[in-house]
Amino acid sequence: MTLDLLVLRCRDIEKTRAFYAQLGLIFEREQHGNSPVHYSAHIGSMLLELYPATGEPDNVRLGFVVSSTILAHFGVSHHGVIRDPDGRGVELSMAG
């Protein structure tokens, strides 16, 4: 089994997109038919999508293995948890 899609519901998808872009994700703006404007980014073979929340945002915790440069940007030494604009825990660990 392989996870190939994760959708995050966000209060402000622009702020959330900018946050995750700091981790190195490259988002594409999308809209399918009458669906809301949203963003998608590939992480390996998985697709991460950001959609506007129609109520409270989801309460997902994510983990990323990132470079030391990205860790330093967020003030993390080797491992730590930061919060995205919707308050989700985002665990950062050093690559290698």
Q: Where are the domains of the chain?
A: 5-94
pTM of structure: 0.91
Residue 31 CA, distance from chain mean position: 18
The answer, yes or no, to whether residue 52 has pLDDT greater than 80, is yes
What mean pLDDT comes out for the span 54-78? 91
Q: Which CATH class is domain 5-94?
A: alpha beta
The answer, yes or no, to whether residue 54 has pLDDT greater than 80, is yes
DSSP 26-88: --EEE--TTSPPEEEEEETTEEEEEEE-SSSPP---EEEEE-HHHHHHTT-SSEEEEE-TT--
The answer, yes or no, to whether residue 41 has pLDDT greater than 80, is yes
The whole-number pLDDT of residue 58 equals: 87
The whole-number pLDDT of residue 56 equals: 86
The answer, yes or no, to whether residue 96 has pLDDT greater than 80, is no
| Structure-block tokens of residue 85 | 């604009």
